[in-house]
């Protein structure tokens, strides 16, 4: 599932070549693995091209598949408007956690990203924004020093340049390999947001599947407006832990974006295809008039 778009596109190309070959030779063709994706919600087989055309949402049941950070930027930002910032911040194995750097390198080669967060400046419907996206394909979007530092710098960039800020979260929480240094990022990002807020600037936080742990307990839930993507898991601790702690059954739909909307934790619940339009509208309403 890593780098979903590229992977599916290359498999599609292979299939098309096979079809062409078939037409020439009129022989039976085996369908290669990965041409179709089985929807984990409705169990239907979906042709990957249809899935890509539909913003990686199941056309049959609207199940929202995970997206990489780059795919998310493509979905929301005006074409070619994204300029990446703070690219060259690298992880230091500060606690000398065994094999940590090797693990990081593995994820880097799998995803082609330096770490789990991409930030920069872009335009959404011609409105300039500072935008950042957590990538759940990179160590489950966990927040260590690099993620925390990049999020903080992006917030400070937005503050210094009087820009609205949009952050998409998808994270398992703080990165355990960096221990207390990971937890410190929660305070650091939150403090930076306070300065952004003091300047009267807008921060839209979009919670996508899954937003949990230290990210959910810091910058992800400090948005002036918090959007939950359809059926995203949003919470702090896992359901099993909560159930075992309180010794009670949890209500149906617990920790979904819909549940969090009902409880007032999320302001709007949006389908992926409505996401860009919704953000555009919010940015437009809050646009500063000189």
- The residues that touch Zn ion, with contacts defined as CB under 5 A, are 39, 41-42, 58, 60-61, 63
Q: Which is nearer to Zn ion, 14 or 61 (CB)?
A: 61
Nearest distance from C-beta of residue 141 to Zn ion, angstroms:
23
Q: Which is nearer to Zn ion, 63 or 243 (CB)?
A: 63
> Tokens 């959910």 belong to which residue?
216
What lies within 8 Å, CB to CB, of 181 at 6+ separation is 94, 95, 144, 145
Nearest distance from C-beta of residue 65 to Zn ion, angstroms:
9
Q: Which long-range contacts (CB under 8 A, 24 or more apart) does 44-51 make?
A: 48/8, 48/11, 48/12, 49/8, 49/12, 51/8
Nearest distance from C-beta of residue 40 to Zn ion, angstroms:
8
Nearest distance from C-beta of residue 57 to Zn ion, angstroms:
9
Q: Which is nearer to Zn ion, 64 or 175 (CB)?
A: 64
Count the residues in the chain. Answer: 290
Pairing of strands 127-134, 165-171: parallel
Q: Which is nearer to Zn ion, 58 or 201 (CB)?
A: 58
Q: Which is nearer to Zn ion, 60 or 128 (CB)?
A: 60
Q: Which long-range contacts (CB under 8 A, 24 or more apart) does 159-163 make?
A: 159/192, 159/195, 159/196, 159/199, 159/201, 161/121, 161/130, 162/199, 162/201, 162/288, 163/121, 163/128, 163/129, 163/130, 163/201
Nearest distance from C-beta of residue 31 to Zn ion, angstroms:
19
């Amino acid at each position: 599932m890593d780098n979903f778009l590229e992977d599916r596109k290359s498999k599609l190309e292979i299939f098309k070549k096979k079809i062409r070959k078939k037409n020439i030779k009129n022989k039976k063709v085996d369908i290669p693995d990965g041409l179709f994706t089985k929807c984990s919600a409705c169990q239907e087989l979906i042709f990957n091209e249809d899935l890509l055309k539909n913003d990686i949402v199941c056309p049959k049941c609207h199940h929202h598949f995970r997206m990489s950070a780059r795919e998310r930027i493509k979905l929301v930002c005006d074409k070619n408007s994204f300029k990446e910032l703070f690219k060259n911040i690298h992880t230091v194995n500060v606690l000398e956690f065994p094999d940590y750097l090797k693990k990081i390198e593995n994820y880097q080669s799998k995803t082609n990203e330096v770490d789990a967060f991409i930030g920069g400046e872009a335009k959404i419907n011609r409105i300039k924004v500072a935008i950042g996206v957590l990538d759940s394909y990179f160590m489950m979007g966990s927040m260590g020093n690099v993620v925390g530092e990049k999020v903080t710098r992006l917030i400070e960039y937005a503050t210094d340049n009087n820009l609205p800020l949009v952050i998409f979260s998808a994270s398992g929480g703080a990165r355990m390999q960096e221990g207390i240094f990971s937890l410190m990022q929660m305070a650091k990002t939150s403090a930076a947001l306070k300065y952004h807020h003091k300047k009267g600037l807008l921060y839209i936080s979009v919670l996508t599947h899954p937003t949990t742990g230290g990210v959910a307990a810091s910058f992800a839930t400090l948005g002036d407006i918090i959007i939950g993507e359809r059926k995203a898991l949003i919470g702090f601790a896992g359901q099993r832990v909560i159930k075992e702690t309180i010794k009670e059954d949890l209500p149906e739909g617990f920790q979904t974006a819909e549940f969090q909307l009902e409880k007032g934790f999320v302001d709007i619940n949006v389908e992926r295809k409505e996401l860009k339009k919704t953000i555009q509208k919010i940015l437009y309403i809050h646009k500063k008039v000189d």
